[in-house]
Amino acid sequence: MFESSGAGITIHSPDQTLTIGLGSSPTGLHFGFSDSFKFHGYDLTAGDHIFSFSQLVIVERGLAVEKHFERNCTAKPTGARLAGFTGCSHEKRLIAFVGSTGSSFNPVFFQSYRLNSAGAGIYAEEIFKNGSLSTLESVHGHRYTALESAEWTPSVFRFSIGGGVLENVPRFDAQAQMRPKSWMQFAVGHNEIQANNGRQTEFFKYDSAQAAFLTRHFTIYGSAFEGQQRLSVFSGASIRLAGFDNQIGYFHTTREPRIITDNISKRVGIYEVSGFYSNTQGHQTFGIGGGIHTNRFTLSLNHQVLYNIALGVFQNTSTLNLSFRVHDATVSLGGLRDPTRKIRYNVFGNDYIQAGFANAPQQNIGLGGKYVAKGFVVDEHNKPIQGAAILLDKQELFSDAVGYFEAHIKHKSARVSVNVLEFAAPGEWELVSAPSTITAGEPARIVVRRVR
């Protein structure tokens, strides 16, 4: 289905991570290589390195040097201090990089990049108790970037502002968020960008507003986006009652047709059934499916009746997916029968091999924000588990030799999930207990059980 194939391998050691990827696609042969290691207190990456700031993504193939600094305090007059900016930074990070740069190419089978021009840059970030400051300066080819960003989070508010030049294009953005209760949040934003299409320079302005209410049994959200004489409205609701999960969505703009969607699913033990419905320009699309989910394998079958706007006809599409584990290897098989009755397929697999060096203590720390979330993974006998895959919001971590994990998160709390299928520890595992959320400063305890 992706018309690409390839393979990759990642080797983890206490102070080094080596990744190699090779594959082919309709655009040609692709190769990726990355070696990250520590050297005299510095974090070095030789090969491919992805670096992001604001809305810019830089892919560098060469050398990146990263340095972390401990808590540092600089005395300032009390009257000159802003709440949250006490003069004491909790963390400082400085990255310098040089090499050829370009765009990323990331199919599901391997990871590599398409590089175009030589470039270099430097990034600096300083995180305070309730705020952060960051700056990025880079040059690659004839494109220059100079961006500044600041964030301040007093109490239930979060304010952020950024601007500068992004690849020769001036831009400015600002956002304000408020979360008076854990189940209630609001946000407003403003963006400005100048663009030149070669013939004339255009100035774009966009404004947005969002609101959401989240509880255990229902979620209601809505947003409005205005810019370039166009108003777009998004809204939806999710209801979870008696084991059913029903999601309803609505989308409409002043220039596009109205779209209504509805997704419903029900899970009983290892079995799950689902269905969806959508209405676009009066044309209805629907589908039904189901599956079986166990710790050893997952099987799902879905059938959809889709309306092809280009051809003006309804078309049937069926998909079948099977994923299973053999010891520490995971294999996924997928098949699709398209409207032309052609069968398309994909195959994907990965394996974990634990060597002796994996038993050495190491700390797995993410760099997603200024709050620190941490916890321990143990079995039913309170024995620490190494290699457990923990997901904090969208950030994946692995527990170390004493079962410990730690990550920086953007907010005071984060959603927690445990992916037993991705454990680096040998054997098959199942979850016994885990909190639904983790709060910064309060260690979480996750209990798992080895079933084989």
Domain residue spans of the chain: 1-74+82-127, 356-450
- Report which of 408, 423, 424, 356 is spatially closest to residue 125, judged by C-alpha positions: 408
- For 33, the token pair is 């290589």
CA 23/CA 10 separation, integer angstroms: 15
Q: Are strands 429-433 and 395-398 parallel, antiparallel or unpaired?
A: unpaired
Structure tokens at 120: 């270099």
Query: Measured in Å, how far apart are the chain's first and last C-alpha atoms?
Result: 34
User: Model's pTM, two decimal places?
Assistant: 0.61
Q: What's the confidence (pLDDT) of residue 360?
A: 35
The DSSP symbol for 81 reads: P
| pLDDT higher than 60, residue 175 | yes
Decide if pLDDT at 335 tops 60: yes
For residue 159, name the pLDDT band (cuts at 50, 70, 90).
very high
Which token pair is 263? 């997704």
For the stretch 262-311, pLDDT in tens is 888 887 878 889 898 888 767 778 889 999 987 778 899 988 876 665 56
pLDDT at 361 over 90: no
pLDDT at residue 2 tops 60: no
Reply yes or no on whether the pLDDT at 96 is more than 80.
Answer: yes
Residue 372 CB partners (closer than 8 Å, separation 6+): 406, 407, 408, 409, 440, 441
366-375 tens-digit pLDDT: 444 567 888 8
3-state secondary structure of 357: helix
* pLDDT level of residue 178 (50, 70, 90 thresholds): very high
Close Cβ partners of 35 (under 8 Å, ≥ 6 residues apart): 16, 17, 18, 19, 45, 46, 47
**Residue-wise pLDDT tens digits, 18-52:** 888 887 766 677 777 888 888 888 889 898 777 66
pLDDT range class, residue 186, cuts 50, 70, 90: very high
- Look-up of token digits 């053999």: 326
Q: Can you give the pLDDT at residue 314?
A: 67
Compare 227 and 438 and report the one with higher pLDDT: 438
Q: In one letter, which amino acid is 82?
A: L
- With a CB cutoff of 8 Å and minimum separation 6, the contacts of 40 are none
pLDDT score of 107 more than 80: no
Question: Of 100-109, 156-165, 304-313, 332-341, which range is least confident?
Answer: 100-109
- Residue 359: the pLDDT is 38
- The arrangement of strands across the sheet holding 395-398 comes to 395-398, 389-392, 413-418, 437-439
- The better pLDDT of the pair 313, 129 is held by 129
Per-residue pLDDT at 176: 93
Closest by CA position to 141, among listed 53, 58, 65, 28: 58
- The whole-number pLDDT of residue 197 equals 58
Give the per-residue pLDDT at 447.
Answer: 92
Supply the pLDDT for residue 27: 66
| CB atoms closer than 10 angstroms to residue 29 | 10
Identify the residue with better confidence: 350 or 334. 334
- Report whether CATH 2.60.40.10 matches the domain 356-450: yes
Output the pLDDT for position 13: 72
According to the model, what pLDDT value does residue 167 have? 74
Greatest alpha-carbon span in the chain? 74
What's the pLDDT at 257? Answer: 64
Whether the predicted pLDDT of 185 surpasses 80: yes
What's residue 256's pLDDT?
A: 63
C-alpha span between 61 and 35 (Å, rounded) = 11
When the pLDDT of each residue in the chain is averaged and rounded to a whole number, the result is: 77
The yes-or-no verdict on residue 402 having pLDDT over 80 is no
Contact 90, 127 (CB under 8 A): yes
| Mean pLDDT value of segment 153-165 | 88
H/E/C letters for each residue in 232-271? EEEEEEEEEECCEEEEEEEEEECCCCCEEEEEEEEEECCE
- Out of 48-62, 320-334, 391-405, which region has the weakest mean confidence (pLDDT)? 48-62
